[in-house]
């Protein structure tokens, strides 16, 4: 259930639910096929497609990694969610992927994202917004690249790392109990991120979220980026998580 797959056939074969007066289902194929077509029309090449599903495919999250030569460590992505059991809204978001570990990076932006309940004109709306999100992909990727460079410039000490982990777990419910041991292991013995920068810590956390349930995968990544952006005043931050950490505290 929590393993990423590159196989689309199983998901496309699942019957779409019957529409009712209050429920307007959206076929998985709208995201799996039509979204890729939209990317191709705009000149993007999909280098990799991955899917995470639950409840026998009733809940779906997926992402398309886009070929790009801008960075050797980050690639632009489109992430999406859908459900046939009303458990998740339909959504689409311009994101990024860290190449060395395939961890997600999902900023919070009104331009580069859209979500919609399965009701009324949901299908028509998601098709319209699909093009808008694809159009915003380049700008959102550039912002995330800037955030990476900003995070690399900020060094953390053990005290601040402990404060961040405690706050994220106890106060914000941003990481869950079963993810704490993974996070602790990454902080002390990460293979790919051995330093003490905010960027290293960010990837320690996303590694603990790597195989999350499709109900929570995108939500936790979005919350993480908003949290780190607020605490360290990164470009584009939405200040949802209180006061930023003063750099003087890190010395």
> Using one digit for the tens of pLDDT, what is the confidence trace for 7-17?
899 999 999 99
> What distance in Å separates the CA atoms of residue 66 and residue 49, rounded to the nearest whole number?
9
Q: Is 76 exposed, middle or buried (0-12, 13-18, 19+ CB in 10 A)?
A: buried
Q: What's this model's pTM, rounded to 2 decimal places?
A: 0.88
Phi, psi of 82 (to 5 degrees): -160, 165
**Over the stretch 104-143, which tens digit does the pLDDT of each residue have?**
888 766 668 999 999 999 999 999 999 999 999 999 999 9
The single residue listed with the structure tokens 């289902």 is: 25
């Amino acid at each position: 259930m929590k393993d990423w797959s590159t196989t689309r056939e199983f998901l496309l074969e699942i019957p779409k639910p019957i529409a009712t007066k209050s429920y307007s289902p959206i076929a998985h194929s709208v995201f799996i096929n039509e979204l890729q077509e939209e990317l191709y029309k705009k000149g993007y090449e999909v280098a990799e497609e991955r899917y995470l599903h639950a409840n026998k495919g009733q809940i779906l999250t997926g992402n398309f990694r886009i070929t790009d030569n801008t960075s050797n460590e980050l690639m632009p992505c489109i992430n999406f969610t859908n459900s046939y059991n009303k458990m998740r809204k339909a959504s689409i978001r311009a994101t990024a992927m860290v190449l060395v570990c395939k961890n997600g990076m999902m900023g919070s932006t009104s331009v580069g994202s859209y979500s919609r309940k399965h009701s009324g004109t949901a299908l028509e709306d998601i098709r319209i917004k699909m093009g808008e999100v694809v159009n915003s992909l380049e700008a959102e990727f550039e912002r995330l690249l800037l955030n990476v460079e900003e995070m690399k410039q900020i060094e953390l000490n053990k005290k601040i790392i402990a404060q961040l982990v405690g706050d994220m777990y106890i106060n914000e419910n941003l990481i869950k109990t079963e993810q704490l041991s993974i996070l602790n292991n990454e902080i002390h013995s990460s293979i790919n991120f051995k330093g003490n920068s905010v960027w290293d810590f960010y990837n320690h956390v996303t590694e603990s979220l790597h195989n999350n349930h499709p109900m929570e995968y995108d939500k936790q990544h979005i919350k993480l980026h908003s949290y780190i952006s607020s605490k360290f005043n990164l470009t584009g931050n939405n200040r949802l998580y209180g006061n930023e950490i003063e750099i003087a505290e890190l010395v």
